[in-house]
Structure 1
Amino acid sequence: MPVSAPEDVFPGVSRETRNRLQVYADLLRKWQPAINLVGPRTLPHLWTRHFADSAQLHPLVPPGARTLVDFGSGAGFPGLVLAILGVPEVHLIESDQRKAAFLREVARATGATATIHAVRIEQVEPFPADVVTARALAPLANLLGFAAPFLAPGSICLFPKGQQAEDEVSIAAKTWNITVDRIQSVTDSSASILRVSEVSRA
């Protein structure tokens, strides 16, 4: 049976945070008919497929991290969820103007500390980020190309990946020097989160 409430997925967070996530979910369902924010078949499983899948990155964000950049944010997963969960400064990069408008509305309605950049990734003037995220955007090698200008010493990347994760790591290792930790997804037994650090061109 589809999970339909934030308390079922986020039992450990405050009621205020759950309420903000509920506002987010309500807005997504309201905007979905006009903008294809998520796959229609995933809507009945919104809380597990998108919110919980995004939230599992939160414990992987280093305790001292302040700035997070999320590439190709789309409907805001995972970046906007991480902002609501407390990452101090989140930047969402989304070139689709209608999706960027949705992100602005959710950030306004939830009070999330998120800055929306409604341009292509390459058009954003790079700045140091503690964490870089991206979900279902591009193969790992391409993501590292996007991320490299934003990475400072000690920065990490958190990239949820599916069954092709190992193939992507092998291909990326041909052009990048990277340290990769593989963390099992808690929402999909065939998926993992790649925690990538010490990134430099090979």
Structure 2
Amino acid sequence: MPSDFELPDVSRETSARLTAFSDLLIKWNRTINLVSKSQINDLKTRHVDDSLQLLPHIPSDAKVLTDIGSGGGFPGIVLAIAKAETQPSLHFQLIESDQRKAAFLRTAVCTLSLNATVFCERIEQTTAEPADCMTARALAPLSNLLAFASGLMVPEGTAILPKGRHFETELEDAQKAWHFRHQIYPSLTDSDGQVIVVKDIRRA
């Protein structure tokens, strides 16, 4: 792993907001399954840090970022918190079809004063505007994510997609249906994981 590839530092204020978000999630998790109970004690590494590692890949000139299948707010809410200071004009669109999870996301956005909008809609039917960037975590195979990205992003958009141990198989399958440029980075939180950054997506 390159020595300069490490988790980005965050300010004291951002750290405090991340803690406030984690506390809110733990409270809601008692009644809504936002993250598994087995992972709640490892929330920082398994979910917060895993989301923060996507920050360096967000284009500095991006104006809109869409996070699909936002669930418990990973990575969408975490990235919105981190970008509130460094890229405050970046607007986040969080797409989550589950009404209870969407209610949690709206509460987090309001409580933490984030530049974000929650869409309680199916990805295929969303009314979100075309985005410059898209993220998705633990949602679907890469080929499916590229299909979503092609419909949700502007043509020059960037998709940032953390993937697990079956990444190579997913990549081979995706290349049968799609043409795209991509770069692969080692995950900082999962020894079997990678982060794939994809651009110029079009059907094969």
SS at match of 1:173: helix
SS in 1 for 2:176: coil
Aligned length: 194
In structure 2, list runs of 5 or more residues that go unmatched. 1-6
2:69 aligned residue: 72
Deviation, 1:73, is: 0.3
How far apart are the structure 2 equivalents of 1:125 and 1:106? 21
Matched-pair contact (CA < 8 Å) for 1:159–1:194: yes
| 2:180 aligned counterpart, secondary structure | strand
- 1:47 is aligned to 44
Q: Matches of 2:9 and 2:187 in 1, distance apart?
A: 18
- Length-normalised TM-score, structure 1: 0.92
Deviations 1:67-114 (CA, angstroms, capped at 9, x unpaired): 100010000100111111115100000000000000011111111111
Name the CA distance, whole Å, in 1 between partners of 2:149 and 2:49.
24
Q: Which one of the candidate residues 191, 194, 201 is aligned to 1:189?
A: 191
Cα deviation, residue 11, structure 1: 8.1
Distance in 2, Cα, partners of 1:186 & 1:85: 17
Deviations 1:44-77 (A, max 9, x none): 1100100000000001111111210001000010
Give distance in 2, aligned partners of 1:59 and 1:99. Answer: 27
- Identity across the alignment (%): 48
Correspondence for 2:3:
none
1:165 equivalent in alignment to 2:162: no
- Residues 1:48 and 1:198: Cα distance change in structure 2 (over 3 Å): same
Q: 1:68 and 1:189 mapped to 2: Cα distance?
A: 27
CA distance in 2 between counterparts of 1:152 and 1:26 reads: 35
1:35 aligns with 2:37: no
Give the AA of the match of 1:65: A
Aligned with 2:120 (options 103, 118, 121): 118
- Distance in 2, matches of 1:39 and 1:169, equals 28
Structure 1 contact 127–149 (Cα < 8 Å) conserved: no
Structure 1 residues not aligned, in runs of 5+: 1-9
In 1, are the aligned partners of 2:119 and 2:128 still within 8 Å (CA)? no
Report if aligned partners of 2:8, 2:52 keep a CA contact under 8 Å in 1: no
Alpha-carbon shift at residue 125 of structure 1 (Å)? 2.9
Aligned to 1:128: 130
